[in-house]
Chain A
Amino acid sequence: MKKLVLIFTLAISVTAIAITVSSCTAQREVSAQKSGAELWAQNCIRCHNIPSPPAYSDVQWETIGLHMKERANLTSEQIDKIVAFLQSAN
């Protein structure tokens, strides 16, 4: 019973965080200020070297983008801009 309460509380907490931050307009300002190239340089390097845009096709970058959004827990704004930059530079 305690475990169920804990699971429920955690799930509610994560959802609450998501709802709270979704109402925050500041994140949109931050996202708007950074270019895809900046986000690519700043975020990919947190785990591995910065990937070369020509390494993959436009379609492949979309697939990798969704994979990395999940794996590195990047925000939607970040991954959308990074993928757009990689597709434009490959």
Chain B
Amino acid sequence: MKKIFIVTIGLLLWGGSIFAQGSKPPKTQFMVRGYGHAGLDYIKTADGTDYSFVGAAFSPIFLFKQGKRFMFETELEFELQNNELEIGLEYANLMYVINKYLMIRGGKFLLPFGTFMERLHPAWINRLSSKPLGFGHDGIAPASDIGVELRGAAHIGGTAINYSVYVVNGPRLKDGSIEPDEAGMLNFQNYIDNNNNKFVGARVGYLPLYNSSLELGASFYTGKPGDKGSVYKDVTAFLWAVDFSFVKQISPIKGILDIKAQYNHTQLSDAYYPVGEEGRDSTDLYTFNNLSRAYYAQLSYRPSMASSSILKNIEIIGRYSQLNTPEGSEWESNVNEITIGLNYWITWRQVVKINYAFINSEGGHDAEDGTGKQKSNTLFVHWAIGL
């Protein structure tokens, strides 16, 4: 099956090159973009050290444009996991421009919950090799889902506003029946709807400065994640986020200052979950305030106006990130991470990243004793390219 899939991708690439060779631009335009990365990870914990070459990850993006208003876009993920090639579908959606101020898209799309997952996560865009805490596996913020969305942008005087509102299937509440130590978590990788209740979300971004250097955003995402007909069917989830971005080339400091931040807040209504390994057969129940929070703040500086051709391609980065999951839950944890980085930009879309992270964690369902404090340090040396 995978071979057929890969051959199909090859044919698409070949077909795209034929389109590109034509003298007259066709109404249907096909293009492959994407990104890839590879590198070395060094991880030091109390149990010892581990280092290995990682990556060989490839994420092609296929763009099909028909006329000036319609586009289909999809991103795949090819990655080696446990010596097997894993293929994932990051997004696949249709998009139609209704007018200058509004477009509609449907399918599986990246959710505008804050800005990190929608705009900043690709390896050649993310200034650091890792995601901030709270995103990705066991994260508390959604990344993508299946549904329909209206979005657009406009100028208001010298300022600009962008907006989106969407309806999607929504995540599924983990009730502890399969993994008792994850009871109360949201499974954002649940794309097949588990009930008839859809999640609704929206984001508004405002760029108050004439030069578009500053963007302030606010998002929410809400619905009922419990299985249809289960005792959790009335559990509600309300997530919100605020995001900040300031990027500007500043002459007195002879370079580009880039500040990014996002705060995520995930609150679920109270519910009772089974105690212990018996799962749903357990008669002992417990509850907790199901509130998770995560945030990050990142600052980077690149002396882009330096006279030295080497110096102007160097970038220094610092990021603080924190994640707090519900007190009293089996997955209670408090984690913070300080990451510093030194990047060298080979071209505008190709970078070598050297990052070092200091991680302090307490608890978490992966912790052996459940509550012990742990420290770990990681070194990432990654080479990323945008296509």
Contacts and interface: CB of A to CB of B under 8 A. Distances in A.
A72 B119 contact: yes
B162 A73 contact: yes
Interface string A21-34: 11010110011000
A59 B156 contact: no
A19 B101 CA distance: 8
Interface in A1-39: 3, 6-7, 10-11, 13-15, 17-19, 21-22, 24, 26-27, 30-31
Contact of B157 (A26, A71, A76): A26
A66 B97 CA distance: 9
Given A14-B163, A48-B124, A52-B348, A67 B158 contact: no
Contacts of A14: 102, 150-152, 163-165, 202
B344 to A, nearest CB: 13
Nearest to B209: A42
Contact of A3 (B212, B223, B256, B345): B223
Contacts of A72: 119
B94 to A, nearest CB: 11
Contacts of A67: 33, 63, 71, 73
Interface in A55-74: 55, 57-60, 62-64, 66-67, 69-74
Q: A-side binding surface: helix, strand, loop or mixed? A: helix
B349 interface: yes
B198 A3 contact: yes
A48 B154 contact: no
Interface in B344-378: 345, 347-349
Nearest to A43: B212
A56 to B, nearest CB: 8
B155 A11 contact: no
A55 to B, nearest CB: 8
A10 B202 contact: yes
Given A24-B155, A42-B213, A46-B245, 16 more contacts: A11-B165, A14-B150, A17-B101, A18-B152, A21-B154, A22-B100, A24-B154, A30-B158, A46-B247, A48-B125, A49-B345, A60-B31, A63-B29, A63-B63, A64-B63, A67-B63
25 contacts: A3-B198, A11-B165, A14-B102, A14-B152, A17-B154, A17-B163, A18-B102, A18-B154, A27-B156, A27-B157, A30-B158, A46-B247, A48-B348, A52-B347, A55-B349, A57-B20, A66-B68, A67-B33, A67-B73, A70-B71, A70-B73, A70-B105, A73-B151, A73-B152, A75-B154
Interface of A: 3, 6-7, 10-11, 13-15, 17-19, 21-22, 24, 26-27, 30-31, 42-43, 45-52, 55, 57-60, 62-64, 66-67, 69-78
